[in-house]
């Protein structure tokens, strides 16, 4: 359905995330992946969704010179927001362990911002999902890190993996958002370009 609406456009996803790529495939959208390294640094005065909004727009700005008149660019950024701090991707095993230890038995927010852009139009939006973890033992955290190596994931976990089955007590909001993209909102906003 969306493929037909967008047939005059080429959709460009500026993300190497297999999860985001899979979501677009499941929406039946034809797209190409186009990557450009962006240093993900943001002002330390930003909080929560301000961070992901800033980074999604920063990623889009870096791609604009490659965009044609008939292309729609999609960029995205996700953080775990916990106790007033952004938890991005861990720097190493110890950092990942510390992140999961601090999330254990508590509620955090997963915030994703998406920027959808053409040369003439920009749609920037975000989604926040609250996730409550069961209490995890050190052995469970080590098992997860050793077997799933979630070092490319914000907050050091992937909800679609083992930890999502054993550690998630409650989710308030979009499950897809926790995986990496609020797909329902992406669909709605992409439909506006048709």
pLDDT of residue 33: 96
Beta bridge partners of 114: 76, 125
Measured in degrees and rounded to the nearest 5, phi and psi for residue 41 equal -115, 135
Burial class (CB in 10 A: 0-12, 13-18, 19+), 45: exposed
pLDDT tens per residue, range 50-77: 999 999 999 999 899 999 999 999 999 9
pLDDT of residue 44: 93
- Secondary structure tally for the chain: helices H, strands E: 8, 7
pLDDT of residue 151: 94
The tokens for 67 are 């965009």
pLDDT tens per residue, range 117-164: 999 999 999 999 999 999 999 999 999 999 999 999 999 999 999 999
Percent of the chain with pLDDT over 70: 100
Q: Is 77 a catalytic residue?
A: yes
Instruction: Band the pLDDT of 43: cuts 50, 70, 90.
Output: very high
User: Which of 28, 77, 92, 95 is flagged as catalytic?
Assistant: 77
Measured in degrees and rounded to the nearest 5, phi and psi for residue 167 equal -105, -20
Distance CA 190, CA 185 (A): 8
Distance CA 58, CA 53 (A): 9
pTM above 0.75, yes or no: yes
Cα-only R_g, the chain: 17
Average pLDDT (164-173) is: 96
pLDDT of residue 2: 82
Residue 104 has pLDDT above 90, yes or no: yes
CATH class of the structural domain 2-191: alpha beta
Q: Which residue has the tokens 């909004």?
A: 53
pLDDT of residue 131: 98
pLDDT of residue 7: 86
Instruction: Band the pLDDT of 192: cuts 50, 70, 90.
Output: confident
């Amino acid at each position: 359905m969306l493929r037909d609406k967008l047939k005059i456009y080429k959709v460009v996803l500026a993300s190497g995330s297999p999860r985001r790529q899979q979501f677009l495939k499941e929406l039946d959208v034809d797209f190409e992946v186009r990557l450009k390294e962006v240093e993900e640094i943001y002002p330390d005065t930003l909080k929560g969704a301000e961070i992901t909004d800033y980074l999604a727009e920063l990623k889009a700005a870096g791609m604009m010179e490659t965009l044609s008149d008939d292309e729609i660019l999609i960029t995205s950024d996700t953080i775990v927001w916990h106790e007033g701090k952004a938890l991005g991707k861990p720097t190493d095993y110890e950092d990942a362990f510390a992140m999961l230890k601090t999330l254990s038995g508590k509620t955090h927010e997963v915030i994703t911002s998406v920027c959808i852009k053409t040369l003439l139009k920009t749609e920037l939006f975000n989604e926040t999902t609250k996730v409550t973890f069961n209490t995890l033992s050190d052995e469970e955290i080590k098992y997860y890190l050793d077997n799933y190596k979630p070092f490319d994931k914000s907050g050091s976990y992937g909800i679609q993996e083992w930890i999502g089955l054993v550690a998630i007590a409650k989710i308030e909001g979009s499950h897809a958002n926790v995986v990496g993209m609020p797909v329902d909102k992406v669909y709605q906003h992409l439909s506006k370009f048709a």
